[in-house]
Amino acid sequence: MNKTLIAALLLATCASFSVQAQDADSSNNKSADNGGWSGSGEFGFASATGNTRSQNVNAKLGLNQENEQWKNSFFLDVLRTKVQQKVIDTAGNTVKQFDTTANRYDGGASVGYKLDPRSYIVGAARYDHDQFGANIWQGVVSLGYGYIALKDARNELSFEIGPGYKKYRPADLAVVTNGVTVEERQAVLHEVVARGLVNYKFRLTDNTSFEDTFLTEAGSKNTYLQNDAGLAVSMTKKMALKVGFQVRRNSDVLPGIKKTDTLTTTNLVYNF
């Protein structure tokens, strides 16, 4: 499944870039020169030393294309956190240890072919790996229908819905045998899901914008929900500061694992 998703992403990227080149050659206006592409990169870092030690890195890359024929998007997110913790060694002594407590990366793409200025057919793929999450990894491919409900100088609202296929491996389960805790590997699961996406953008002022993206992948075994909200304030035409809040929730998790994860970030953004 992992190889299938990676291949799908590569094919989608190649197809989209090919169309971009054709559009650029056939148009003379400024937006067509780059095929309607835009993008942004985000980076945040925090480090503490002294009595406590911690490091947190999160980074995001997003590419979007929209022209008369195509509405495409690609993304890649990375999160890694290390903190100092007190643990008991084999001799029974309490020692400080610098451990990884978050290690997650996810990427995906959607390729939309417009039927008219508002509606489009969309194919999407997403892969998520989370060492400390409810699922070690999960991958989803889907095909659906998209509709741009609102688009003006200050607002943009779009919806996507359609069937998909999901494959995932739940987190390892801690099992105590003869007083020894052993991590028991879980079987890989798969199911048909209904994918839904709602994306809203609102420009508050000339240099302040808000964006919220809600994703659901609903299946009979597990329903995954994710909401990303962000407020960005531009410092220059290219640079901005952004505060983001993310919520991720799985409806079915193993004992001892929380259903909901949240992440708050303050990042420097470069738009291109």
Looking at the structure of the chain, the number of domains it has is 1
Distance from C-alpha of 49 to C-alpha of 64, rounded to nearest angstrom: 38
pLDDT-derived band of residue 41, with 50, 70 and 90 as boundaries?
A: very high
What CATH number should be reported for the domain holding residue 115? 2.40.160.40
pLDDT in tens, 165-178: 999 999 998 887 77
CA distances (Å), origin 145, targets 77, 122, 197 = 25, 6, 10
pLDDT at res. 87: 72
Contact indicator for 209, 244 with CB cutoff of 8 Å: no
pTM over 0.85: no
pLDDT-derived band of residue 32, with 50, 70 and 90 as boundaries?
A: low
Range 235-248 average pLDDT: 96
The boundaries of the domain holding residue 200 are 2-271
pLDDT-derived band of residue 88, with 50, 70 and 90 as boundaries?
A: confident
pLDDT at res. 12: 43
Residue listed under structure tokens 């969309």: 122
Highest mean pLDDT among 17-26, 91-100, 230-239: 230-239
pLDDT at res. 15: 43
pLDDT in tens, 122-162: 999 999 999 999 999 999 999 999 999 999 999 999 999 99
Nearest to 33 by CA among 67, 61, 64: 67
pLDDT-derived band of residue 61, with 50, 70 and 90 as boundaries?
A: very high
